[in-house]
């Protein structure tokens, strides 16, 4: 095995520079811990950015993938796929949705949602109904349509012309949404909690308000749960904290615990607008991906993971709140379950780097929001260690 420095040199030689990577190369993981190529251990409170919800190398997920790989790795979606049928049934039985479309990432799930909303509107009210409203500071992906849906100019710069028909309003602001919502809007697309936008939890009643505006104008409500879904907030899906359900929901990240899986779920009423030929994916819903998803769903639902997420989320926030008392640079601690943001009065990149050097992985969004999205299986000891490292780093600043 090459050393960290050798791997970094090769990485810079052969891989396109689309990521501002930190100078470590992770080669192994177990639970909430990962090791780099030089053998150094880290406590992983980023978990692939909310992907490895059950921790690294989870035995049931790994075994399920291995068993499926020995049985049948891929067949085309022109045939019925047994593990795909089982996973879609599980998702439907445990959500508002009636039907599922599988793909490979969050962007693809949102792309599918955008296409479905447009198709539904075209069929029910005509082709002039195509506008989609999304939120400022949102994040929905990097394909041309989802990057246009993403309400942040910095991601869109350099890629004109962008697809037409997208408009933005401030997040958590029903008055602005009401002002632009009209009969030619086919969908409102929103995250339950903005992740990349700085771990922003909307006010109580916000999703209910979005639902009502959609109902009043006949627009579909698309809920992007790519980051908040699959247990991250303490419920299987974040919309369960509200009193409403969307028409369409997108999932990815933790659905495969690290194996690429995306899904777009919808009610029967909406899903019927997708017919043979409307949309497709060669790899979407393939047996191997479904084996990962099945093990994730089974573990989330039956092994007390959601309960641990709620308990550890509350404990972690309590500890971070008490850290706030000692460090004036902490402006606010916010989040839900184990999706937690710590807003600073200074830039966060240096803290992220120092924490990494001290053995704790996290990241920073929006320049000054430290983001913690650890595996949902973390213990009090893990939380205590993370808080101690963060405390030490902040003291040394």
Ligand X SMILES: Cc1ncc(COP(=O)(O)O)c(C=O)c1O
CB atoms within 10 A of CB 125: 13
Q: Per the omega criterion (within 30 degrees of 0), is the bond before 161 cis?
A: yes
Instruction: Give dist(CA 204, CA 223) in Å, integer.
Output: 16
Report the relative pairing of strands 99-103 and 330-336 from DSSP bridges: unpaired
First and final C-alpha spacing in the chain:
35
In the region spanning residues 124 to 143, those forming contacts with ligand X, defined by CB under 6 A, are 139-141
Report the relative pairing of strands 330-336 and 339-344 from DSSP bridges: antiparallel
**How many residues are there in the chain?**
397
Residue number with the smallest Cβ distance to ligand X: 106
253 belongs to the catalytic site: yes
Using CB under 6 A, which of the segments 62-70, 103-111, 164-172, 331-339 binds ligand X? 103-111
Question: Binder to ligand X among 36, 44, 172, 196 (CB under 6 A)?
Answer: 196
Could you tell me the smallest distance in angstroms from the CB atom of residue 342 to ligand X?
18
Could you tell me the smallest distance in angstroms from the CB atom of residue 196 to ligand X?
5
By the rule CB under 6 A, 191 interacts with ligand X: yes
3-state SS, residue 156: helix
Instruction: Give dist(CA 157, CA 140) in Å, integer.
Output: 16
Residue whose CB is less far from ligand X, 29 or 195? 195
Using CB under 6 A, which of the segments 7-15, 111-119, 223-231, 328-336 binds ligand X? 223-231
Instruction: Give dist(CA 88, CA 93) in Å, integer.
Output: 8
Residue whose CB is less far from ligand X, 141 or 375? 141
Tokens of 150: 């993403």
Question: Binder to ligand X among 106, 165, 246, 256 (CB under 6 A)?
Answer: 106
Residue whose CB is less far from ligand X, 44 or 224? 224
By the rule CB under 6 A, 190 interacts with ligand X: no
Residue whose CB is less far from ligand X, 107 or 220? 107
Helices and strands of the chain, counted as H and E runs: 14, 15
Of 36, 172, 224, 247, the active-site residue reads 224
- Residues near ligand X (CB under 6 A), total: 14
The full DSSP string for 250-281 is EE-GGGGBTB--EEEEE-HHHHTT--TTS---
311 belongs to the catalytic site: no
Residue whose CB is less far from ligand X, 65 or 226? 226
Instruction: Give dist(CA 217, CA 182) in Å, integer.
Output: 6
Question: Binder to ligand X among 227, 257, 273, 365 (CB under 6 A)?
Answer: 227
Of 36, 166, 247, 253, the active-site residue reads 253
List residues with catalytic annotation. Answer: 139, 224, 253
Residues contributing to the site for ligand X (CB under 6 A): 105-107, 110, 139-141, 191, 195-196, 224, 226-227, 252
């Amino acid at each position: 095995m090459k050393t960290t420095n050798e791997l970094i040199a090769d990485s810079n030689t052969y891989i396109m520079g689309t990521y501002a990577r930190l100078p470590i190369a992770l080669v192994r993981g177990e639970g909430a811990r990962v090791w780099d190529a030089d053998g150094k251990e880290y406590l992983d409170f980023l978990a692939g950015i909310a992907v490895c919800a059950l921790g690294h190398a989870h035995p049931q997920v790994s075994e399920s993938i291995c068993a499926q790989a020995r049985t049948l790795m891929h067949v085309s979606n022109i045939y019925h796929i047994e593990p795909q049928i089982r996973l879609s049934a599980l998702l439907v039985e445990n959500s508002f949705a009636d039907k599922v479309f599988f793909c490979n990432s969050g962007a693809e799930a949102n792309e599918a949602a955008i296409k479905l909303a447009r198709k539904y509107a075209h069929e029910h009210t005509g082709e002039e109904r195509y506008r989609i409203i999304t939120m400022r500071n949102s994040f929905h992906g990097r394909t041309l349509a989802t990057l246009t849906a993403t309400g942040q100019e910095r991601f869109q710069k350099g890629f004109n012309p962008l697809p037409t028909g997208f408009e933005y309003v401030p997040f958590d602001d029903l008055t602005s949404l009401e002002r632009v919502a009209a009969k030619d809007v086919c969908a409102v697309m929103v995250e339950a909690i903005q992740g990349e936008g700085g771990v922003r939890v909307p006010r109580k009643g916000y999703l209910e308000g979005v639902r009502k505006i959609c109902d009043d104008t006949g627009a579909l409500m698309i809920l992007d749960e790519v980051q908040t879904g699959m247990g991250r907030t303490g419920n299987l899906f974040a919309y369960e904290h509200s009193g409403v359900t969307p028409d369409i929901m997108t999932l990815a990240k933790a659905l495969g615990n690290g194996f690429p899986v995306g899904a777009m779920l919808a009610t029967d009423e909406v899903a019927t607008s997708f017919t043979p030929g409307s949309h497709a994916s060669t790899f979407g819903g393939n047996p191997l991906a479904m084996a990962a998803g099945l093990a994730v769903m089974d573990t989330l639902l039956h092994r007390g993971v959601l309960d641990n997420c709620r308990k550890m989320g509350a404990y972690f926030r309590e500890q971070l709140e008490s850290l706030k008392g000692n460090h004036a640079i902490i402006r606010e601690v916010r989040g839900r379950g184990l999706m937690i943001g710590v807003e600073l009065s200074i830039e966060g990149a240096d803290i992220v780097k120092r924490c990494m050097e001290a053995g704790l992985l996290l990241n920073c969004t929006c320049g000054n929001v430290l983001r913690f999205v650890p595996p949902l299986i973390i213990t009090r000891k893990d939380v205590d260690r993370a808080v101690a490292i963060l405390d030490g780093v902040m003291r040394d600043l």
